[in-house]
Amino acid sequence: MVSLPGPNSVWWYGRAIRLYFLLSFMISALWIVKVLYIDSSNLGMPFMQSSPPNSNSETTAAAAAAAVPSYHRYTFVDESSLQLPEPAHEYTLTYTDHIYCLNHKNRLGRKGRMSELFRYMHLNVQIFDKPRATHMDIWRDMINRSYERALILEDDIDFEVDAVSVIGKAINALNATSANWDILHIGHCSVEEGRGKAKTAFDRVHKSVHPFCTSGYVLSRNGAQKLFAYFVKNSRQSRALDVQMVALIKRKMLSAFSVHPPVVYQRRDLYPTDDGVELKVFKLFKNSVWDEAREFVPRLANWTDPLDVEFVDPAYKQIPSWMEDTKTIK
């Protein structure tokens, strides 16, 4: 390389620097023109594209989008057409032959709320709302239809969001340990169920201790036959159904297990019951499916429970004071 001594070297260096910056500017300008005008389709900018004459604009847009790499593809959405997806979770129940929900027709709006809850959960549930229906009627129906297992629910309940998964794990654990179990309480009113011991692979399954309340349970065919035979023979007893069932468990006439903490809870905050007792077990309730549904489904956001007059039992002539709510009765 030949150096240029004296003041001429400074002149040449200055010219080289100016030439370098000029070339850089020209290259940058050409790149911007190319990106904005020549390759505008790669940026997903339809306002810079010209459609060919007599072409279907939707077909052209779809073809252009398919040809563009995913990292350059943009979608312009009309916000007025946005709809919140429903439901937030996918629920299935493959561990029982049938699902019953016992509904008393004189109860305030429960059928409507339970129907919406089951719809949100994608559960195929029979609302068992025959006149004066009881748990015994469900047991009889289960036996007559030869169901090996059935999930039985009451009409004032709510689920934990992981209920279906927990029920499946509990049933699999019981089947691996004892093939002849009669009943699995997935909803109960007792905080003592965690004390019962059971050697299963799932640590939330325990031998039943005092599983009061019949808000939710999985019943085997053998268990249904035992219960139906006993209550037909002892139909004159005045004790509550769940109290008699606990007595049978204590006498080891039923092979009973409980999920603790439960995955089904009575919503006494939504539907006051006759006794109005606040249950300690309700404090274990963490993630409500009903509350989640009201958050994700717009039509449930301002849900009220009107008195469904067509479902009122004719013999039920006087509405209790706790049902006299002008906000819910229409």
The stretch 33-62 carries a mean pLDDT of: 48
Is 15's pLDDT higher than 80?
no
Which numeric CATH code is attached to 98-315?
3.90.550
Is 250's pLDDT higher than 80?
yes
Is 252's pLDDT higher than 90?
yes
The stretch 38-53 carries a mean pLDDT of: 44
> What pLDDT shows up at residue 107?
63
> What pLDDT shows up at residue 74?
35
Half-sphere CA count of 283, side-chain side, radius 13 A: 5
Least confident of 35-39, 109-113, 255-259: 35-39
The backbone region for 279, taken as left when phi is positive above 0, alpha when psi lies in -120 to 50, beta otherwise, is beta
**Residues whose CB falls within 8 Å of the CB of residue 125, separated by 6 or more in sequence, listed in order:** 99, 100, 101, 114, 118, 153
Is 117's pLDDT higher than 70?
yes
The stretch 76-94 carries a mean pLDDT of: 60
What b-and-e string marks burial along 258-283, b requiring 16 or more CB atoms within 10 Å of the CB? bbbbbbbbbbeebbeeeeeeebebbe
Least confident of 109-113, 120-124, 166-170, 302-306: 302-306
The stretch 175-194 carries a mean pLDDT of: 89
Helix (H) or strand (E) holding 186: strand 183-187
> What pLDDT shows up at residue 37?
58
Question: Helix/strand/coil (H, E, C) string of 27-44?
Answer: HHHHHHHHHHHHCHHHHC
Between 173 and 34, residue with greater pLDDT? 173
For residues 63 and 74, what is the distance between their CA atoms, to the nearest angstrom? 14
Is 164's pLDDT higher than 60?
yes
Q: 116: how many CB neighbours lie within 10 A of its CB?
A: 17
**For residue 160, which phi and psi values (nearest 5 degrees)?**
-75, 150
> What pLDDT shows up at residue 97?
94
The structural domains of the chain, with segments of one domain joined by +, span 8-74, 98-315
Q: Is the preceding omega at residue 298 within 30 degrees of 0, hence cis?
A: no
Between 34 and 5, residue with greater pLDDT? 34
> What pLDDT shows up at residue 90?
76
**What's the alpha-carbon Rg for the chain, to the nearest Å?**
34
Between 78 and 95, residue with greater pLDDT? 95
Between 18 and 323, residue with greater pLDDT? 18
